[in-house]
């Protein structure tokens, strides 16, 4: 799987994340960011063009070297961007150093999402926000049935993505207060397109 994970999968991830259907979600999440921003799972950098003047710096964290290399060449506004190769479960950044943490279609693929959110809480300043857009567990039993059955195979071909992760539950059990959240289906196959978007703050 080395060739697939190191070269083919990053290209597939980049292609999937450039789906035009994702653009409105992406724009809303990124334009709400401010101050010093940590983007967990920056991927190939598709969010970078949408950071506005309220953002002073972006730190992009990504575990896959090929995607990080692609992100370095992504278009972005004239704000400082630092690229860091590393894991969300062990963020190499100091305590209380970020005003905003951003995740977009990232929580589904983090192996230990509880540890990653503990790290996000650690790096956020008092009053800081977590902005998120994620896909995950749907409300309808029939769709959930499909998500549970598709996830084991889907994880193997998609870099660890879980279709059935309940994002609201993940945030709440990790001591985040959900200040605003919108949910609903995006166009596409229902097991893969139930979206959660909003903002949360550490409790």
Mean pLDDT of 137-163: 96
pTM: 0.93
pLDDT in tens, 174-200: 999 999 999 999 999 999 999 999 999
Choose between 7 and 18: higher pLDDT: 18
pLDDT cut 70: percent of the chain above it = 98
Mean pLDDT of 121-143: 97
d(CA 120, CA 117) in angstroms, rounded, equals 5
* pLDDT of 7: 67
Strands 124-135 and 194-202: antiparallel
* pLDDT of 189: 95
Mean pLDDT of 24-46: 95
* pLDDT of 104: 97
Mean pLDDT of 160-181: 97
Residues 6+ apart with CB under 8 A from 156: none
User: Is residue 125 left, alpha or beta, with left meaning phi > 0 and alpha meaning psi from -120 to 50?
Assistant: beta
* Dihedral sign, Cα of residue 68, residue 73, residue 75, residue 81: positive
Architecture of the structural domain at 2-202: 3-Layer(aba) Sandwich (3.40)
Q: How far is the CA of 169 from the CAs of 127, 165, 183, 196, in angstroms? A: 21, 9, 13, 11
CB 62 within 8 A of CB 92: no
* pLDDT of 83: 96
CB 29 within 8 A of CB 44: no
Has residue 1 got a pLDDT over 70? no
In the chain, which residue ranges form alpha helices assigned H by DSSP? Answer: 2-3, 9-17, 23-31, 65-71, 113-123, 141-157, 167-173
Mean pLDDT of 23-33: 94
Domain borders along the chain are 2-202
Has residue 5 got a pLDDT over 90? no
Closest C-alpha among 198, 36, 39 to residue 131: 198
Q: What is the DSSP string of 59-116?
A: EEEES-HHHHHHHTTS---SS-EEEEE--GGG--S-TT-EEEEEEES-GGG-TTHHHH
Q: How far is the CA of 91 from the CAs of 29, 46, 51, 98, 160, in angstroms? A: 21, 21, 21, 12, 19
Least confident of 57-66, 75-84, 125-134, 175-184: 75-84
Has residue 8 got a pLDDT over 90? no
């Amino acid at each position: 799987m080395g060739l697939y994970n190191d070269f083919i999968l990053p290209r597939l991830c980049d292609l999937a994340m450039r789906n035009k259907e994702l653009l409105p979600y992406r724009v809303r999440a990124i334009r709400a960011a401010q101050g010093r921003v940590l983007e967990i799972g920056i991927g190939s950098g598709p969010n970078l063009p949408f950071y506005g003047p309220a953002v002073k710096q972006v730190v992009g964290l990504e575990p896959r070297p090929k995607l990080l290399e692609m992100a370095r060449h992504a278009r972005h506004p004239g704000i400082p961007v630092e690229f860091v190769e590393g894991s969300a479960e062990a963020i190499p950044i100091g305590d209380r150093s970020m005003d905003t943490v951003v995740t977009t279609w990232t929580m589904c693929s983090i192996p230990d999402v509880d540890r990653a959110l503990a790290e996000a809480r650690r790096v956020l300043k008092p009053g800081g926000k977590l902005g998120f857009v994620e896909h995950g567990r749907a409300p309808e039993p029939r769709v959930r049935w499909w998500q549970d059955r598709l996830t084991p195979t889907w994880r193997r071909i998609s870099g660890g993505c879980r279709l059935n992760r309940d994002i609201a539950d993940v945030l709440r059990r990790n001591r985040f207060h959900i200040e605003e959240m919108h949910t609903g289906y995006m166009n596409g196959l229902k097991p893969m397109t139930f979206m959660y978007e909003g903002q949360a703050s550490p409790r």
